[in-house]
Structure 1
Amino acid sequence: MEDITVLADSRDLLIKVFIKTGGNELYKILHRKNYKIPKNYIQWRELAALISVNAPLFNHSSLDLAQRFTAHRIALWVVKDAPIYCLDNQLLEQFQQTDIGDENLIFKDLVSQIPLHSMMLLLPSKTVVSPDGGYVDWLNIHCSHVRHPEWSVGEKYGLSPHYMTHEDDAVLHFGCVDTKGTIWFSGWGIDEAEGKLKQAKISYGKAPVGKNDDNFVQELRSLTMQCLMFLTFEKLETDNVTFKETINSTGFTPLKEPKEKCLYPRWLREGEKRQARHIRENTSHASPVPHWRRGHWRRAAIGKGRLHRRWNWIKPTFVTGSFE
């Protein structure tokens, strides 16, 4: 499932106009949540505006399916009071250097063990560039299942997203609006009887989809799946962002945490910073060009009788060489 839909010439312009005119009731509610987000990520004022513009659109029949699907999944995030995660820049780079492997097995295991069904994922600013030159700095992610319609319905803050039927047993969607105002929406489903992914090559939007767009959607799909893999199999416990991580360093006495109520996202990062591994080549020839040795995900048998399976992340390593 793939789509690209042009929403506006500039996302920043849309946000500025929306906020300047007072926003809407949803924006006022979300703004009061007062999320403190680390520097180098989209800030809550802008993100809350984007959510408030898009979430109510899921019932607008005049919009194409991509816009409505994206709005519906964002609305679910709102009514579920689902979490926000900030993807650490170092972990993002490692994911970009990791091969996803057998998506069929991964997705099937993910659906059965995934710890959450809706999340907002914030990406470091100006790191993921779309083919139209915009930056993708957030992704809304949602998992839906025919046996668990409660994952995909809710009512709160004036929103009542209904359950949207789908052909497959389970589906995973991601969507966003990049800084150029382009909607990127995609997803995949799985037929549990066959155990195979279903990836329909159709567009739900009005804009044409080119080869560069296909490649970019694959990049976002891999990133989405790896973030969920990391949460499910690598790091079930996550740290909250701290106040000091949300302020700019001034060189003076650190600012004190505000007394007013505020919320903090969760970090999606490793507990300890991994140092790049340097490998000395046993050769008298010129050292090889520094490069990434790509990582991958491996499914291993575990437990009594080795009847259970667990995914392990074999991390990428940065390889350098030297003269002997």
Structure 2
Amino acid sequence: MNHPLQRALVPTLSILLAILLNAAIISATGTDPIMVAERIIRATLGSSYGTGQVLFKATTLLFSALAVAIPFHLRLFNIGGEGQLQMGAIAAAISAAALPSSLTPWIAIPIAVFAAMTAGAAWASIAAILKIRYGVSEVISTIMLNFLAQGVSGYLLFHHFALPSTAHSAPIAAGAVIPPFSDLFGWFPSSPLNPSILAAITLTILFWAVLYRTRYGFEMRASGRQPLAAKRAGINPARHTLLAMALGGASAGLGAANLVLGYKGYYEAGMTAGAGFSGIATALLAAAHPLWIMASALFMGLLDYGGLAINALVPKEIFQVMTAVTILLVISATALSRRNG
């Protein structure tokens, strides 16, 4: 199954099957599935506000999915996106809050974004170094680093940076706020969608171009598929491992910057809300292909915000089951089609 249309057919059919199964699940709860579908469509795509919310959620998911997809092409499984998001978020909040209020956005925003990217990249690099020097599985190390990030960020927040009697840090400087499109152009009124989505799309396309159109991308894929052969050919797999994990962590940091600078305006406990773990599902749903990840992030963003719109009709736990069914069907069908050629 090598033709692009044939490859696209498998996930499309599996999504249709998932829709039928989910309709059966909804019916079993005593709710009309057509009514639920109408409510989701009306809430997500039926208004500019809903569309803005979907695209905003898709932006963070796109960044966190790239945190998985970039190392994935070296056969590295970065489970640590959640921890990298947390470290990037608190770094962005602390640095942006410390900036002078008079600082122009052209300076303040890049400083805070750089802090978030650096924190995310540094956190991911720990797993890369452990793998290169000691052969520690990146799956195990990134899982442990998630727990460590939760502890470190919680300690920094509650013991050093939280405002009295609150669970969040001080507000960021006015110049570090990424303005929403509603303020800039009047688009998507009242939604937090901001220019970060353009950065996410640009980064995804750039990753595709580097991966498939440059020598570095070829070396990167070769290091993942045949590390011994790549080493004999003069390619340094260790260097690619470190760089791929660092770039993945930096991408997670960008997702964190979107949450802090483009939405909350401060760091608070639990603000990442599992976006790093959702990024894993988003990347796997697209088989880690850079361009397909954009569609996958949009789909996951629609599910995420759509789930909020039907809370009165379908229990949250049931909707989580429906989301998991959809992801499992698409991933399983894609894996089987690849195995069968």
Structure possessing the higher relative contact order (Cα contacts under 8 Å, 6 or more residues apart): 2
Larger helix percent: 2
Q: TM-score, normalised by structure 2?
A: 0.20
Q: TM-score, normalised by structure 1?
A: 0.21
